[in-house]
A and B are shown apart, each in its own frame.
Chain A
Amino acid sequence: MLPFKYNWRSMRVRWVSTLMTVVGIGLTVSVFLAMMSLVRGLESTFTETGYPLNLLLLRQGGTAESTSVLSRQNYEVVRYLPGIAPGQDGEPLVSPEIIVLINHPKKDGGTTNISIRGLTPRGLEIRPTVRMIEGRFFRGGLREVIVSRKVKERFQGMDLGERVRFGKGNWTVVGVFDAGQTAYGSEVWTDVDELGTDFDRPIYSSIVLRAADEAAIPRLKEAIAADRWLRLKVQRETEYWASQTRTAMPVKALGYFIAIVMAVGSAFAAMNTMYAAVAHRTREIATLRTVGFRRRTIVLSFLLESALLGLAGGLVGCLVALPLHGLATGTTNFVTFSEVAFNFRITPRLLLQALAFAAVMGAAGGLFPARRAASMKIVEALREL
């Protein structure tokens, strides 16, 4: 094996072209990271939503709460099924809920759909990741709403005490809740009966219930599925939200497309640099081979050098993209057509993927030049200047 210092010092000697390539690869990696952190943020918003013991009931064949219709009788039957955990008041932890979409102006201009979730106080108890951070929980019959922290930050008229207009009149914001990185962080909550009346909906969109324990889940699923009159689709709340990660697909596809196009460009830049390096060191390569280094050692050495170029670019790209971490943004959920707010998430795993992506990009660029270096005839290469 050729000593590593040979590659390192050679890269330093032609530092201008090394730097240009590193910056080029760095930009590609930063774009890749930006797109992927967007996807990661969006996906984790869905995958982190839901409590493992919660079950979500939709109409049979339903894929989203916003398009599902359940009757009030459904609720009455379900709430007394055995195996449901009791709430603080001893009543079964079952929350009948309604989802409606309203179009509302954003603070940074334009309008978008927000999900208004109608629920009962048990809906809060059933979701332990949600907690009030300002004001208080809404009271039924007073046209009160509570909003998530992200909704408050991103939409107009959602501050504590402000009045927001939807349905048949104005609603007062009486509280702000924090839902962490979950999908509930993009919602406005109010009383289920009041919301139903305002939007003339004597039905529910979904029912969320808490199973007493893990063993109760299959029993509850079986009981609901076996009841032909109910005609309900039952699934874990976590499964339901995880299935919505397909919302991230268009961003993911775009991200991969842009990253691949840029990666091809960067690999060509690395290739150009490595071809120049090979041309510049033709006689050195011939000398090394005269001394006894084999062709594959030369190939490996040049591949290592170009992979190093890529890795250096990867590091630059990570540093450029890292400030994006935690930045809040939003997009449309293509399942519910409502706004979903989320944060860019750059995880250690994503950073490692970016570095591997960069190293592969560099090595791919170095492949042909390395092969050229090794395939040269020694005698001819020795004559090169």
Chain B
Amino acid sequence: MSEAAVQLRDLRKVFRRDSMEIVALENIHLEVQRGDFVCLMGPSGSGKSTLLNLVAGIDRPTSGELHVLGEEISRLSESQLAAWRNRHIGFVFQTFNLIPVLTAFENVELPLLLTKLSSKERREHVEMALKLVGLADRMAHYPRQLSGGQEQRVAIARAIVADPTLVLADEPTGDLDAHSADEVLKILQQLNREFGKTVLLVTHDLRAARRATVRHYLDKGLLQDAPPLEMA
């Protein structure tokens, strides 16, 4: 299990606002092994989410190498990237981002609509994913009928339903109370331990960081040695 899932070399990301250049990431060298539960910490604006977005293939680096699951994804076209994301990436957002007009079942089913699975197979997959996050009895509920914690669990089910290799989570507990946050973290840990998923988590939450097997620290766009958890 020591094969690298993510390999970043001399990665740089610069945002341009009018005539100003804002360096979000500079000289990033990072390797994430398959099966790791990696936590990426750092203050607001340090570039954590930018790094996660680059790994997820929803943003492109300004320069540097970006190998994810053996593929140099910055060279893929938009439509190749979309197909790649669907196959390999499960993304969990801080704000859940469920489609409000679709039920929990329909939300979780979305990534499977891009596969060749039959409707029966899709149903089986969706039911299994929702069962895993403990929401088998909420399949017909719309997001507005769910609590924040339940919404995030549906979002996790959506992220894992297509059986991705890499689960990326951007502050998944940021909008949740302590109890719900704990449940979400347990699920992510279960995905890592029992199902061998590589998890890359961006967080401020020390409880989340404690569950990680590897921790990295970003500050002002630079990757630094992770301080002890008590100081983070």
Question: Which A positions have Cβ atoms within 8 angstroms of B?
Answer: 1-3, 5-6, 9-10, 12-13, 283-284, 286-296, 377-379, 382
CB distance from A76 to the nearest CB of B (A): 82
Interface residues of B in 82-141 (CB under 8 A from A): 82-83, 85-87, 91, 93, 95, 97, 99-102, 106, 110-111, 113-114
> Is B114 touching A293 in the complex (CB atoms < 8 A)?
yes
Partner of B97, one of A3, A13, A287, A292: A287
> Is A1 touching B78 in the complex (CB atoms < 8 A)?
no
Residues of B within 8 A of A288 (CB): 99, 110
Residues of B within 8 A of A10 (CB): 101
Indicate whether B56 reaches chain A with its CB closer than 8 angstroms. Answer: yes
> Is B102 touching A6 in the complex (CB atoms < 8 A)?
yes
Known: A291-B110, A291-B158. A379 touches B53 (CB 8 A): yes
A-B contact pairs, 27 of them (CB 8 A): A5-B102, A5-B106, A6-B101, A9-B101, A9-B102, A284-B97, A287-B93, A288-B110, A290-B91, A291-B85, A291-B91, A291-B110, A291-B158, A292-B83, A292-B85, A292-B87, A292-B111, A293-B82, A293-B114, A294-B78, A294-B82, A294-B83, A295-B82, A296-B79, A378-B53, A379-B59, A382-B93
> Is B106 touching A287 in the complex (CB atoms < 8 A)?
no
Indicate whether B58 reaches chain A with its CB closer than 8 angstroms. Answer: yes
> Is B58 touching A289 in the complex (CB atoms < 8 A)?
yes
CB distance from A292 to the nearest CB of B (A): 3
Bound CA span A287–B111, Å: 11
Known: A289-B58, A292-B83, A294-B82. A2 touches B101 (CB 8 A): no
Q: Which residue of A lies closest to B111 (CB)?
A: A291
Residues of B within 8 A of A377 (CB): 59
Question: Which B positions have Cβ atoms within 8 angstroms of A?
Answer: 53, 56, 58-59, 78-79, 82-83, 85-87, 91, 93, 95, 97, 99-102, 106, 110-111, 113-114, 158
Residues of A within 8 A of B85 (CB): 290-292
CB distance from A65 to the nearest CB of B (A): 65
Residues of B within 8 A of A2 (CB): 113
CB distance from B77 to the nearest CB of A (A): 10
> Is A292 touching B106 in the complex (CB atoms < 8 A)?
no
Q: Which residue of B lies closest to A283 (CB)?
A: B97
> Is A3 touching B79 in the complex (CB atoms < 8 A)?
no
Bound CA span A13–B99, Å: 12
Q: Which residue of A lies closest to B115 (CB)?
A: A292
Bound CA span A3–B91, Å: 21
Partner of B114, one of A5, A283, A292: A292
Bound CA span A289–B56, Å: 12
Bound CA span A291–B86, Å: 6
Known: A13-B101, A382-B93. A3 touches B58 (CB 8 A): no
Known: A290-B85, A294-B79. A1 touches B113 (CB 8 A): yes
> Is B102 touching A378 in the complex (CB atoms < 8 A)?
no
Residues of B within 8 A of A283 (CB): 95, 97
Bound CA span A289–B83, Å: 10
CB distance from B59 to the nearest CB of A (A): 5
Residues of B within 8 A of A296 (CB): 79
Residues of A within 8 A of B99 (CB): 6, 284, 287-288
Q: Which residue of B lies closest to A381 (CB)?
A: B58
Residues of A within 8 A of B82 (CB): 289, 292-295
Residues of B within 8 A of A295 (CB): 78-79, 82
Residues of B within 8 A of A286 (CB): 97
Residues of A within 8 A of B59 (CB): 377-379
Residues of A within 8 A of B111 (CB): 291-292
Residues of B within 8 A of A6 (CB): 99, 101-102
13 more A-B residue pairs beyond the given contacts A9-B101, A292-B83, A382-B97, with a C-beta to C-beta distance below 8 A? A3-B113, A5-B101, A6-B102, A13-B100, A284-B99, A286-B97, A288-B110, A289-B58, A290-B85, A292-B85, A292-B87, A294-B78, A294-B79
CB distance from A17 to the nearest CB of B (A): 15
CB distance from B130 to the nearest CB of A (A): 16
Residues of A within 8 A of B100 (CB): 13, 284
Bound CA span A295–B83, Å: 11
Which among A1, A9, A283 has the greatest number of chain B C-beta atoms within 10 A?
A9
CB distance from B39 to the nearest CB of A (A): 21
> Is A290 touching B158 in the complex (CB atoms < 8 A)?
no
Bound CA span A369–B158, Å: 27
Bound CA span A283–B110, Å: 15
Residues of B within 8 A of A289 (CB): 58, 82
CB distance from A266 to the nearest CB of B (A): 25
Q: Which A-B residue pairs are the 5 nearest by beta carbons?
A: A292-B86, A9-B101, A287-B97, A378-B58, A379-B59
CB distance from B93 to the nearest CB of A (A): 7
Bound CA span A72–B34, Å: 106
CB distance from A16 to the nearest CB of B (A): 16
> Is B58 touching A379 in the complex (CB atoms < 8 A)?
yes
Bound CA span A131–B165, Å: 83
Q: Which residue of A lies closest to B170 (CB)?
A: A382
Bound CA span A1–B113, Å: 7
Residues of A within 8 A of B102 (CB): 3, 5-6, 9
Bound CA span A292–B106, Å: 15
Bound CA span A45–B81, Å: 61
Bound CA span A6–B79, Å: 22
